[in-house]
Structure 1
Amino acid sequence: MTLKKNSFFSPYIRYWLGIFFLCISSITFSATPTINLPTVGSTLESSARFSWNYQEMANYWMTIGSSPEASDIADSGIMLDDNWLVTLVPSKSKKLYVRLWYKAPTDNEWEHIDAIYKSATLPNDTSLVISPTPNSIISSNTITFEINKDNEKISTWDRLALTELPEFPNTLLYFKRNLGATSSHTITDLQRSPHRYIYAHISVTLTNGERKNARIRYRTYGIPYLTAPKTGSTLSSNKMDLQWINNNIAIEEYSLKVGTKPEGDDIFSRSSLPSNMRSFRVHNLPEDGKSIFVRLGYKTEGNWKFIDNVYKAHNKTTNISPFIQCLFQCKEDRRGGASLMSNSYSNSSSY
Structure 2
Amino acid sequence: MAVGDVRGTLQYVPMFRGRTFVVVLDEGLPEFAVAEALLDLKALQEVGVNLVIAVAGEEKGESAVADRAMDIEIKFARVETPDEVASVLERGQAAMMSCRAGGLLGEEMSSLGTGVEAAKLIGLVNGPGVLRDGQPLHAVSCSALADLGEALEEGEAIEGVGLLEEAAAACRAGIPRVHILDGRRQGVLADELFSNEGVGTMVHADSYRQVRSLREDDVPELLAMIGRSVRASHLVPRDYDEILEKAEDFLILCVDDNVVGCVALHRYREHPAEVACLYVKQSHEGLGYGRALVESAEERARGLGISSVFVFTSRAVPFFENLGYDSASMEIVPDERARKFEERNRGSEVLAKELA
TM-score tier, shorter chain, comes to: under 0.3
TM-score, normalization by structure 2: 0.23
Which structure has the highest strand share of the two? 1
TM-score, normalization by structure 1: 0.23
Higher relative contact order (CA 8 A, sep 6+): 2
Larger radius of gyration: 1
Which structure has the highest helix share of the two? 2
